[in-house]
Amino acid sequence: MKYWLMKSEPEEVSIDDALAAPGSTVPWTGVRNYQARNFMRDEMRIDDGVLFYHSSCAEPGIVGIGRVASTPYPDPTQFDAKSPYHDASSKPDAPRWMLVDVQVLRKTRNLTLPALRADPELQELLVLKKGNRLSITPVDPAHWRRILKKLA
């Protein structure tokens, strides 16, 4: 089992939006970074743990715990000309962008970026690294356990 931190802007899909979705499950659409895409396509497995992270908001932080709920499949937004995530170069017979479904298991208090930074045991957490802008990052099992303990 692997663990992931997955960023979502609350205006796009908030933790509350995900919880309100059927089965509390949402497709993780709109990823347009090859490394993040490769994590979903090549490394994520059903039941991997997910830290649901709100980004680009007043108080960025971890706001929920979830799991990967599907195998990867083509992101339909790449083919939708009306979508901000449209990719005219991607073809249905050779899709460039993939996604997984994420199921939220529970909403948590917001474990903010400053709170994460203040914990000496989390200093190697990738989301805290200078210049890291990836929307999906792997989480070390020790960091996963530490974060769950902080959220308990």
The pTM score is 0.95
**Helix, coil or strand: residue 100:** coil
Query: What's the CA gap between 103 and 83, in Å, rounded?
Result: 23
Query: What's the CA gap between 118 and 122, in Å, rounded?
Result: 8
Is pLDDT above 90 for 133? Answer: no
With pLDDT > 90 as the criterion, what percentage of the chain qualifies?
A: 97
What residues does each domain of the chain span?
A: 3-151
Supply the CATH classification number for the domain 3-151.
Answer: 3.10.590.10
Is pLDDT above 90 for 98? Answer: yes
Closest C-alpha to 111, from 76, 59, 73, 67: 59
